[in-house]
Amino acid sequence: MIMWGETSADDKFIATSSWTQTVRRWSPDDRIHETQADLSDDPTKKYYLALGLLGYASSALCLYFIARSHAQLNQLPQAISFAQTASVEAAESGDKALLCRTLRITARYLMLLARHEEALPILTRTVACGHGLGFAIGIAQSLELLGYNCAARRDLPGTRMVYKGAHKQFAKIETTRMGGQGLARVLDNGEKLSTLTESDEDGFAALARPYPWYQET
Confidence of residue 204 (pLDDT cuts 50, 70, 90): confident
Residues 6+ apart with CB under 8 A from 174: 180, 183
The neighbour count for residue 175, using CB atoms within 10 Å, is 7
CB 105 within 8 A of CB 67: yes
CB 8 within 8 A of CB 24: no
pTM: 0.71
Tens digit of each residue's pLDDT (9 = 90 or more) over 102-124: 999 999 999 999 999 999 999 99
Tens digit of each residue's pLDDT (9 = 90 or more) over 162-192: 999 999 999 999 999 999 999 999 999 989 8
Lowest mean pLDDT among 20-24, 77-81, 210-214: 20-24
Confidence of residue 57 (pLDDT cuts 50, 70, 90): low
Distance CA 31, CA 87 (A): 16
CB 145 within 8 A of CB 123: yes
Measured over the CA atoms of residue 181, residue 189, residue 130 and residue 67, the dihedral's sign is negative
Percent of all residues in the chain with a pLDDT value above 70, rounded to a whole number: 71
Distance CA 101, CA 85 (A): 13
pLDDT at 138 over 50: yes
